Structure 1
Amino acid sequence: MAVSQKKIALITGLTGQDGSYLAEFLLEKGYQVHGMIRRSSTPNLSRIEHILDRLTVHPSDLLDQSSMANLIESIQPSEVYNLAAQSFVTASWDMPLATAEMTAVGVNRILEAIRYSRQSPRFYQASSSEMFGKVQEIPQREETPFYPRSPYGASKVFGHWITVNYRESFNMFAVSGILFNHESPRRGLEFVTRKISNAVARIKLGKQQKLSLGNLQAKRDWGFAGDYVQAMWLMLQQDVPTDFVIATGETHSVQEFVELAFDHVNLDWQKYVEVDPKYLRPAEVDLLIGDPSLARKKLGWERKVDFPGLVRMMVEADLKAEAK
């Protein structure tokens, strides 16, 4: 699907995993891509270094209403993708108020800026499967009630519902993508999948002896982030603003991820993995599995990378990086 004329996109969270893949995707579509980075931080541009000369980067902050409004007015984007958040569940217990300010109230600030902008851009909100938390039905659909189990999940629920409220109250094209876990070689080391793939590479290369993890039986619906950003874009190309669950429809345990990762380098995982109680969550989310049938039907979206392929991709990338 080609873009008939050059569109302008603004991505918050540009330097994160999803932001970098989305920027690549939109550039390929012929967009003029602008990205927001927090002016109070020293940005880590490693994920976007290869496309930095094709982007326009702006210092701004979701905590500052005026900076958001000024940024949107100056760029006049046709599409805004809000991917910025304090997105690590464990850290949200350590800093619940900061998580709420960024991940919940930050969404409200962007919506207010869009509401009063001249361009009235279409808005994408990054919702999360963590909103389902203590799941009320299996699999989880667009209509499944939320039951978050962390400050992060609760903040995402606010962001989701405030987006619905602005859509219905002010006739805005504002949608939420309820994305289940999506991983890649660009995932942060604090996330369990990347922690596993990196440790496997280091153990294989003799740089590390053990891998400490929390609940090995926790189950997640894991896909490839590069596939999921296409769904974000597809949501903003629809005639009617609609929220979608984006998932693989499969669930796998942390232990399955571990087994595949160690098998890929011909090692016995049980010789290297130990369970450490400090990595257990105060309130665990035991089983997440999404139903992507609406996205398949309405968006024509399908994942391209399967679970074993994702594990292999991540381990291979870390082997390459650690061998340098």
Structure 2
Amino acid sequence: MILLADIGATNARFSITESFVDYSLSDRLNIGDYNSLEDICLAYLTKHDLLQKVDKAVLGVAAPVINDEITFVNADISFRASELKKKLFKKGLTVINDLALQAHAVKRLEEDEIIYIGKKIMPNAGTRILIAPGTGLGLAGITNNEVISTEAGHINISDKVLRPTLKKIVDSFVSENTRVPTYEDFLSGKGISFFYKVLSGNSNSTYTNEDILQLAESDEQCKEVKNLLNYLLASYLRYVTLVWGASGGVYLSGSIANTLLDKNSHKDFREIFEDSETMNEFLTITPLILIKLDDIGFRGALEVAKEL
């Protein structure tokens, strides 16, 4: 029996598989309730009486996976993969970046699991990229069916995209943090709340990130936050698409992307994405695709588990 886990900086999602075709016993735990990754895994295994049944695991983690010691970027978690394997998963453990985990599911997506943004352009056999705004901002590439993890969310925001209101937000960030913001600083949960604080002038708002995005139809400040985030996200996608030469498609996943990109925003989003004086022709034929699945991590883990 194999444990499948998609562990972000806020939530850890778990399930198990025996068949490599589907999964069961899915559950979600709050990262902040535990002291270590081992404790989080143990909590799930104990809760579902799996300690003596699970001996392998595929873990997607919100961290760069470079060597045995792995440290999360947006959570106070650090662990050694070799020690975790020795203690809990003696017969096999694979640890990969969480966006790389999700990217393994992209090649098997069905038509009813995706939405084409702006216009329907069928993906070709070229390079594909998957982007997911969440607690952080993840990006993984898929070239010749090989998944490549990145830390592309940590690129500094380009001056070229700074509309006056966005420049105001950037200046406020620099003043508070004494550094230039990255795309992850803004295209993430923390970015949503920071945008609202600056634009509303209310640093004591009780609005959650979900409230801010959901109230965009009735609250002018929330609407401006949503529009600016869509503009910045479309601009970011344009840059990374050109860097990767992602003619095979640009995919977006996660609850933030699905909330930002309602149908009313698709046309404008596509126009911003294609806005290039030199590469408009390439961008015009690049598919933009929103993934509706909320279990894409598990779907990717099933693919990885086949090799374990």
TM-score by length of 2: 0.31
Structure number with greater CO (CA < 8 Å, separation at least 6) is: 2
Normalized per residue, the structure richer in strand is: 2
